[in-house]
Amino acid sequence: MESKKPREAAYKDTRDLAFAAYAHMMGLKIKKATQWKRGTSTEYKFSFDDPSTPEYPDGRWETLLFDFANSEATRFDSSVRSLKKLCKPVQN
C-alpha cells in the first residue's frame, strides 16, 4: 500500500469575508490580505496558512467550510447583509 504524502502547498485563498473571519477565529493564520474597488463595492482576498497535522493531514480548510456552513455564523452574516440593505435608499 502506498503511503499518502501531505499536500505540498499549505495556503488556501478565499474572497468570502465572512468565511475568512470564521477561519481566522478558528485559528488559521492569515498570510496575505488584499482589497480593491470594483465599481462601488470593495472586494477582498485572504490567503491562509493551512498546515497539515496528524489529525488533519490535508489541513482543516474543508472541515472549516462545512463547520461554517452549519454554524450560526452564516445566519449572522446573512442578517448583517439584510441590515445593510435596509439602510440603502430605495431606487425607483
pLDDT digits (tens, 9 = 90+) for 16-72: 999 999 999 999 999 999 999 999 889 999 999 999 999 999 999 999 999 999 999
Task: Using DSSP bridges, classify how beta strands 29-38 and 11-14 pair: parallel, antiparallel or unpaired.
Answer: unpaired
Are residues 13 and 28 in contact, defined by beta-carbon separation less than 8 angstroms? Answer: no
Quote the longest CA-to-CA distance of the chain: 66
Average pLDDT over residues 79-83: 92
Give just the sign of the alpha carbon dihedral 47, 33, 39, 73. positive
Q: What pLDDT is recorded for position 8?
A: 52
Model-level pTM?
0.78
